[in-house]
Structure 1
Protein backbone atom coordinates (compact mmCIF):
# COMPACT_ATOMS: atom_id res chain seq x y z
CA UNK A 1 0.00 0.00 0.00
CA UNK A 2 2.88 2.36 0.80
CA UNK A 3 4.42 1.80 -2.63
CA UNK A 4 1.12 2.71 -4.30
CA UNK A 5 0.96 5.97 -2.35
CA UNK A 6 4.51 6.83 -3.39
CA UNK A 7 3.68 6.16 -7.05
CA UNK A 8 0.52 8.29 -6.83
CA UNK A 9 2.46 11.12 -5.17
CA UNK A 10 5.11 10.97 -7.91
CA UNK A 11 2.43 10.98 -10.60
CA UNK A 12 0.59 13.94 -9.08
CA UNK A 13 3.87 15.84 -8.61
CA UNK A 14 4.88 15.24 -12.21
CA UNK A 15 1.48 16.37 -13.47
CA UNK A 16 1.56 19.53 -11.33
CA UNK A 17 5.03 20.48 -12.57
CA UNK A 18 3.97 20.09 -16.19
CA UNK A 19 0.68 21.91 -15.60
CA UNK A 20 2.56 24.80 -13.96
CA UNK A 21 4.63 25.29 -17.12
CA UNK A 22 1.50 25.23 -19.29
CA UNK A 23 -0.40 27.63 -17.03
CA UNK A 24 2.47 30.16 -16.96
CA UNK A 25 3.55 29.81 -20.59
CA UNK A 26 3.37 33.54 -21.35
CA UNK A 27 4.73 34.79 -18.04
CA UNK A 28 8.26 36.15 -17.67
CA UNK A 29 10.31 35.16 -14.62
CA UNK A 30 11.49 37.86 -12.23
CA UNK A 31 14.71 39.59 -13.28
CA UNK A 32 16.83 37.87 -10.61
CA UNK A 33 15.55 34.42 -11.65
CA UNK A 34 16.09 35.24 -15.33
CA UNK A 35 19.72 36.12 -14.64
CA UNK A 36 20.23 32.84 -12.80
CA UNK A 37 18.52 30.73 -15.47
CA UNK A 38 21.28 31.62 -17.97
CA UNK A 39 23.71 29.60 -15.86
CA UNK A 40 21.61 26.44 -15.54
CA UNK A 41 22.61 24.94 -18.90
CA UNK A 42 26.39 25.28 -18.43
CA UNK A 43 26.09 24.01 -14.84
CA UNK A 44 24.19 20.91 -15.96
CA UNK A 45 26.71 20.22 -18.74
CA UNK A 46 29.58 20.57 -16.27
CA UNK A 47 27.84 18.22 -13.83
CA UNK A 48 27.51 15.64 -16.60
CA UNK A 49 31.00 16.03 -18.10
CA UNK A 50 33.20 16.44 -15.02
CA UNK A 51 32.70 12.95 -13.56
CA UNK A 52 33.46 11.47 -16.99
CA UNK A 53 36.73 13.38 -17.08
CA UNK A 54 37.85 12.81 -13.50
CA UNK A 55 36.70 9.20 -13.12
CA UNK A 56 36.05 7.79 -16.62
CA UNK A 57 35.74 4.19 -15.41
CA UNK A 58 33.93 4.99 -12.19
CA UNK A 59 37.10 5.48 -10.17
CA UNK A 60 39.96 7.95 -10.11
CA UNK A 61 43.01 6.12 -11.47
CA UNK A 62 46.14 7.46 -13.12
CA UNK A 63 45.82 5.31 -16.24
CA UNK A 64 42.24 6.46 -16.91
CA UNK A 65 42.08 10.00 -15.51
CA UNK A 66 45.23 11.54 -17.00
CA UNK A 67 44.39 10.77 -20.67
CA UNK A 68 40.86 12.12 -20.24
CA UNK A 69 42.01 15.36 -18.60
CA UNK A 70 44.84 15.93 -21.10
CA UNK A 71 42.49 15.27 -24.01
CA UNK A 72 39.94 17.74 -22.64
CA UNK A 73 42.63 20.38 -22.12
CA UNK A 74 44.05 19.94 -25.63
CA UNK A 75 40.57 20.00 -27.17
CA UNK A 76 39.71 23.17 -25.26
CA UNK A 77 42.91 24.95 -26.29
CA UNK A 78 42.58 23.79 -29.90
CA UNK A 79 39.00 25.03 -30.08
CA UNK A 80 39.90 28.36 -28.50
CA UNK A 81 42.60 29.06 -31.08
CA UNK A 82 41.03 27.52 -34.20
CA UNK A 83 37.26 27.73 -33.48
CA UNK A 84 37.04 24.42 -35.37
CA UNK A 85 35.12 21.80 -33.45
CA UNK A 86 36.23 18.85 -35.64
CA UNK A 87 39.87 19.86 -35.28
CA UNK A 88 39.51 20.25 -31.52
CA UNK A 89 37.80 16.88 -31.15
CA UNK A 90 40.36 15.14 -33.36
CA UNK A 91 43.24 16.74 -31.44
CA UNK A 92 41.76 15.65 -28.11
CA UNK A 93 41.19 12.14 -29.42
CA UNK A 94 44.79 11.83 -30.64
CA UNK A 95 46.10 13.01 -27.26
CA UNK A 96 43.81 10.58 -25.42
CA UNK A 97 45.00 7.67 -27.56
CA UNK A 98 48.66 8.66 -27.24
CA UNK A 99 48.60 9.10 -23.47
CA UNK A 100 46.64 5.89 -23.00
CA UNK A 101 49.19 4.05 -25.12
CA UNK A 102 52.09 5.61 -23.19
CA UNK A 103 50.61 4.79 -19.77
CA UNK A 104 49.81 1.15 -20.56
Structure 2
Protein backbone atom coordinates (compact mmCIF):
# COMPACT_ATOMS: atom_id res chain seq x y z
CA UNK A 1 0.00 0.00 0.00
CA UNK A 2 2.83 2.39 0.84
CA UNK A 3 4.41 1.70 -2.56
CA UNK A 4 1.19 2.69 -4.28
CA UNK A 5 1.02 5.94 -2.33
CA UNK A 6 4.61 6.76 -3.27
CA UNK A 7 3.85 6.14 -6.95
CA UNK A 8 0.73 8.31 -6.78
CA UNK A 9 2.68 11.09 -5.06
CA UNK A 10 5.38 10.92 -7.73
CA UNK A 11 2.77 11.02 -10.48
CA UNK A 12 0.96 14.01 -8.96
CA UNK A 13 4.26 15.84 -8.38
CA UNK A 14 5.34 15.24 -11.98
CA UNK A 15 2.00 16.45 -13.30
CA UNK A 16 2.09 19.59 -11.14
CA UNK A 17 5.63 20.45 -12.28
CA UNK A 18 4.62 20.16 -15.93
CA UNK A 19 1.36 22.03 -15.39
CA UNK A 20 3.27 24.85 -13.66
CA UNK A 21 5.39 25.35 -16.78
CA UNK A 22 2.31 25.38 -18.99
CA UNK A 23 0.45 27.80 -16.73
CA UNK A 24 3.37 30.24 -16.65
CA UNK A 25 4.44 29.87 -20.29
CA UNK A 26 4.17 33.60 -21.05
CA UNK A 27 5.80 34.81 -17.84
CA UNK A 28 9.41 35.94 -17.80
CA UNK A 29 11.60 34.62 -14.97
CA UNK A 30 13.12 37.11 -12.55
CA UNK A 31 16.42 38.69 -13.59
CA UNK A 32 18.42 36.76 -11.00
CA UNK A 33 17.04 33.45 -12.33
CA UNK A 34 17.77 34.44 -15.92
CA UNK A 35 21.33 35.33 -14.95
CA UNK A 36 21.85 32.02 -13.14
CA UNK A 37 20.36 29.90 -15.93
CA UNK A 38 23.42 30.49 -18.12
CA UNK A 39 25.42 28.30 -15.71
CA UNK A 40 23.06 25.30 -15.88
CA UNK A 41 24.32 24.11 -19.27
CA UNK A 42 28.00 23.81 -18.29
CA UNK A 43 27.14 22.50 -14.81
CA UNK A 44 25.21 19.47 -16.08
CA UNK A 45 28.05 17.90 -18.13
CA UNK A 46 30.48 18.72 -15.31
CA UNK A 47 28.22 16.95 -12.82
CA UNK A 48 28.13 13.92 -15.11
CA UNK A 49 31.84 13.85 -15.96
CA UNK A 50 33.44 14.64 -12.59
CA UNK A 51 32.38 11.43 -10.79
CA UNK A 52 33.64 9.42 -13.77
CA UNK A 53 37.03 11.12 -13.48
CA UNK A 54 37.38 10.89 -9.70
CA UNK A 55 35.97 7.38 -9.28
CA UNK A 56 36.01 5.69 -12.70
CA UNK A 57 34.74 2.31 -11.47
CA UNK A 58 32.81 3.51 -8.45
CA UNK A 59 35.76 3.73 -6.10
CA UNK A 60 38.69 6.11 -5.66
CA UNK A 61 41.99 4.28 -6.11
CA UNK A 62 45.38 5.47 -7.29
CA UNK A 63 45.49 2.99 -10.17
CA UNK A 64 42.15 4.19 -11.54
CA UNK A 65 41.77 7.82 -10.47
CA UNK A 66 45.23 9.17 -11.36
CA UNK A 67 45.18 8.03 -15.02
CA UNK A 68 41.68 9.41 -15.52
CA UNK A 69 42.52 12.81 -14.03
CA UNK A 70 45.85 13.12 -15.84
CA UNK A 71 44.25 12.09 -19.13
CA UNK A 72 41.62 14.78 -18.64
CA UNK A 73 44.36 17.34 -18.00
CA UNK A 74 46.26 16.23 -21.11
CA UNK A 75 43.11 16.43 -23.23
CA UNK A 76 42.16 19.84 -21.80
CA UNK A 77 45.60 21.37 -22.30
CA UNK A 78 45.95 19.96 -25.81
CA UNK A 79 42.50 21.22 -26.75
CA UNK A 80 43.33 24.70 -25.48
CA UNK A 81 46.56 24.71 -27.49
CA UNK A 82 45.27 23.24 -30.76
CA UNK A 83 41.47 23.77 -30.62
CA UNK A 84 41.22 20.30 -32.20
CA UNK A 85 38.75 18.19 -30.24
CA UNK A 86 39.52 14.88 -32.02
CA UNK A 87 43.25 15.33 -31.40
CA UNK A 88 42.66 16.23 -27.74
CA UNK A 89 40.34 13.27 -27.17
CA UNK A 90 42.73 10.86 -28.87
CA UNK A 91 45.69 12.17 -26.84
CA UNK A 92 43.67 11.90 -23.63
CA UNK A 93 42.70 8.34 -24.47
CA UNK A 94 46.31 7.39 -25.22
CA UNK A 95 47.41 9.06 -21.98
CA UNK A 96 44.76 7.16 -20.01
CA UNK A 97 45.76 3.84 -21.54
CA UNK A 98 49.46 4.48 -21.04
CA UNK A 99 49.13 5.63 -17.44
CA UNK A 100 46.81 2.72 -16.60
CA UNK A 101 49.34 0.33 -18.10
CA UNK A 102 52.17 1.92 -16.10
CA UNK A 103 50.30 1.89 -12.79
CA UNK A 104 48.98 -1.67 -12.98
Return the TM-score normalized by structure 2.
0.93
Q: Which residue of 1 aligns with 2:26?
A: 26
List alignment gaps of at least 5 residues for structure 1. none
1:52 maps to 52
Question: Which residue does 1:38 correspond to in 2?
Answer: 38
- Report the number of matched residues: 104
Looking at structure 2, the residues matched to 78 and 22 of structure 1 have their Cα atoms a distance apart, in angstroms, of: 45
Deviates more, 1:21-30 or 1:68-77: 21-30
Q: TM-score normalized by structure 1?
A: 0.93
Deviation of 1:43 after TM superposition, in Å, equals: 1.8
Paired with 2:60 and 2:80, the residues of 1 have a C-alpha distance of: 27
Q: Which runs of 4+ in 1 moved over 4 A?
A: none
- CA displacement, residues 46-103 of structure 1 (integer Å, 9 cap, x when unaligned): 2111111011011111110111001100110111111111011001011011111111
CA–CA distance in structure 1, aligned partners of residues 65 and 103 of structure 2: 11
